[in-house]
Amino acid sequence: MVMKTRDKFIEVARQLFARKGVENTTMNDIASASDKGRRTIYTYFKSKRDIFNAVIESETDQLLNRLRLIVARPSSPEEKLMEYVECRFETMKEIVSRNGSLRAGFFRDVRKVDRARKIITRKEIAMLRDILQEGVDQGVFHIPNLQHCAVIITQAIHGLDVPYIRDNLIEEGIDKETLKTYISELILNGIKRR
């Protein structure tokens, strides 16, 4: 299948960002590697930030698709929540690992991380809220404010992305499996009906 021009720019930019870093990649580099003229790339993207955001959105689409599958499963809300947490951590680790040097500078710039997260955070919150709502409807969870709870859980998980990806908590005796278990149990114990 012939790749659409916009999609080709996104994939070429992803590869260049991964290999050279975002800061060391120019719009000319992307256009040249795509075998297109510089004017053509500006037809689709106004700036390198626009194409960077498109790369992040493309990469995170796979995360969202995996999370949607979990939400749609015919399993219990507790199981969905635990699978959701595990999938979220593992998929983010895969995305960051696949993107080479993009990850090195990316996580050092908090503003860049926040911009990238805004692209998917609302969708993550909505999916998590669906799981929580299902648990409330089944009488399994007690949550006074679903939206607030979904936001807080999402932000807590986001806050653990870097320690999970870098395995920073191993110094404290907390490996990745333990971290996933602890965060899942912490969430479940906080919202389960007693």
Instruction: List pLDDT tens digits, range 1-55.
Output: 446 989 999 999 988 988 888 888 999 999 999 999 889 999 999 999 899 888 8
Contacts of 149 (CB under 8 A, 6+ apart): 132, 143, 191
This prediction has a pTM of 0.79
| Domain extent at residue 84 | 56-191
* Residue burial 150-173, b: 16+ Cβ < 10 Å; e: rest: bbebbeebbebbeebbeeebeeee
**Digit-coded pLDDT (tens) for 175-187:** 999 999 999 999 9
Question: What is the pLDDT, as a whole number, of residue 148?
Answer: 96
Residue at 49 is within a domain: no
Same domain, 101 and 143: yes
Give the CATH number for residue 35. Answer: 1.10.10.60
Give the CATH number for residue 101. Answer: 1.10.357.10
Residue at 66 is within a domain: yes
Dihedral (Cα; 136, 142, 144, 148), 10-degree rounding: -80
Which one is predicted more confidently, 58 or 116? 58
Residue 131's nearest CA partner among 65, 75, 181, 81 is 81
Total count of domains within the chain? 2
For the record, the structure tokens of 147 come out as: 């939206």
Same domain, 78 and 33: no
Same domain, 81 and 169: yes
Question: Cβ atoms within 10 A of the Cβ of 98, count?
Answer: 13
